[in-house]
Amino acid sequence: MEDFVRVEDMIEALRALPAGARLVVTHSGYYCYNELAGVCMPEAYTMDSDEGGLSEGEVVYRLGHSHQSY
């Protein structure tokens, strides 16, 4: 994960995904100590549970992650 990605790099990566791909940003933990969440080029992510209209085991594409801890 990085603090940022370039727009042209993200557009190129998004164009390579299947047309019906779903995009997500994941999170974990409790408290945040940084201003920015991690961002990444689209990467396959398998859902651990049913949430927000997505099903457990469904493969979506993650664009970032935020972790907060004590």
Q: Which of 59, 33, 27, 61 is nearest to 46 (CA)?
A: 59
Contact indicator for 54, 22 with CB cutoff of 8 Å: yes
Residue 51 maps to a domain:
yes
Residue 60 maps to a domain:
yes
Residue 40 maps to a domain:
yes
State the residue range of the domain holding 59: 7-68
Token pair belonging to 30: 């409790």
**Residue range 23-40, pLDDT digits in tens:** 999 888 877 667 778 899
**Residue range 53-67, pLDDT digits in tens:** 999 999 999 999 988
Residue 41 maps to a domain:
yes
Total domains, the chain: 1
Distance CA 22, CA 33 (A): 28
Residue 25 maps to a domain:
yes
Residue 55 maps to a domain:
yes
Residue 1 maps to a domain:
no
Residue 37 maps to a domain:
yes
